[in-house]
Amino acid sequence: MSAPRLARSPGGAVLVALAVVGTAVLVLPLVALLLATPWTALPTLVADAHVLQALRLSLLTAGCATLAALVLGVPLAWVLAHDDLRCAWLLRSLVTVPLVLPPVVGGVALLLLLGRRGLLGGTLDTWFGVTVPFTSVAVVLAQLFVSLPFLVLSVEGALRGADRRRALAAQTLGASPAYVLRRVTLPAVAPGVAAGAALCFTRALGEFGATVTFAGSFPGTTRTMPLAVYLAMDAAPEQAVAMSVLLLLLSVAVLLALRGRWLGGLPGAHAARSGRGAR
């Protein structure tokens, strides 16, 4: 940290001041949250049946969404990572849209697709008697819609990093393609997949807009933690704060796990830090 030296020139001082304000914008709200937290009453507040119900539902749906994202997203990333794909740019743009789209819009779109009068929803209802909206499945779909791009882009990056020439080098040493996949390609990609899954999970855990629009807010089936926090703000502010802290701790735990275990093991992560790579 050489902020004092940076700040010596007038222009530098302005930039540093703005950087400080920027940091404050990100950190101060969390400080306020932590200061308002009734730490001694926290265990009892969190142990409340409604909170536990919402927490269980959140972990379950976010877990399901992450699993689904892994099953669907890894192949999608694999397709994207192939340079010979002509419409890759189009496919990548489509994958990126949910990242920039307001989640509420995603919820509306999901309703228009799977609602009773939706594009597919009508057929599902009349032919199979299946209604998706306002169920736990709808929660998972809403979370999947907003979190899948995180996984896809992260895994695609990892696949590109594990370049093809290493796989070829392995073959020239007498390794069959299956052996190369098992001992070279997959291990090289695994940290990226893990990081993507963690990002995907935290994004799914925090999903609000698409969930409330597409799945509603029914206790036990669709009222996840973020929805419960929002509702509790009026009725039981202390509980809302307690649940918020719980979500904050969960997210930070995932972030710490990412940094320590996975980001440190990403191919090139260390090389980038020490300024030299595996040649």
Partner 1 sequence: MTLDVQVRIDRGAFRLDVALEVPAGGVLAVMGPNGSGKSTLLEAVAGLVPVTDGHVRLGDRVLADAASGRHLPPHERRLGVALQDGLLFAHLSARENVAFGPRAQGVRAPVARAAADALLADVGLTTQARTRADRLSGGQAQRVAVARAIAALPSALLLDEPFGALDAATRARVRDVVRRAVATGLPALVVTHDLRDALELADELLVLQDGREVQRGAPAHVAAAPATPYVEQVAAAAAWPDRAP
**Beta carbons of 91 and 79 less than 8 angstroms apart:** yes
Give min distance, CB of 259 to partner 1, in A: 18
Considering beta carbons, is residue 86 or 273 the nearer one to partner 1? 273
Contact 246, 264 (CB under 8 A): no
Residue 92 half-sphere exposure toward CB, CA atoms < 13 A: 17
Contacts of 228 (CB under 8 A, 6+ apart): 50, 51, 54, 243
Q: Which is nearer to partner 1, 12 or 277 (CB)?
A: 277
Q: Which is nearer to partner 1, 110 or 159 (CB)?
A: 159
Closest approach of partner 1 to the CB of residue 244, in Å:
38
Q: What letter represents residue 258's amino acid?
A: L
Cβ-Cβ contacts under 8 Å for 108 (sequence gap 6 or more): 213, 214
Residues that bind partner 1 (CB under 8 A): 165-166, 168-177, 179, 183-184, 187-188, 265, 267-268, 270-271, 274, 276-279
Shortest CB 170 distance to partner 1, Å = 7
A 10 A CB-CB count for 276 gives: 9
- Minimal distance, residue 168 CB to partner 1, in Å: 5
Strand positions, DSSP E, 6-51: none
In whole angstroms, what is the distance from residue 55 CA to residue 93 CA? Answer: 34
Q: Least distance in Å: CB of 154 to partner 1? A: 17
Local structure of 148: helix, strand or coil: helix
Give least dist CB 241 to partner 1, A: 43
Contacts of 124 (CB under 8 A, 6+ apart): 114, 130, 131, 132
Q: From CA 258, how far away is CA 208, in angstroms rounded?
A: 23
Crossing angle of helices 49-80 and 136-161, in 10° steps, is: 40
Minimum distance from residue 265 beta carbon to partner 1 (Å): 7
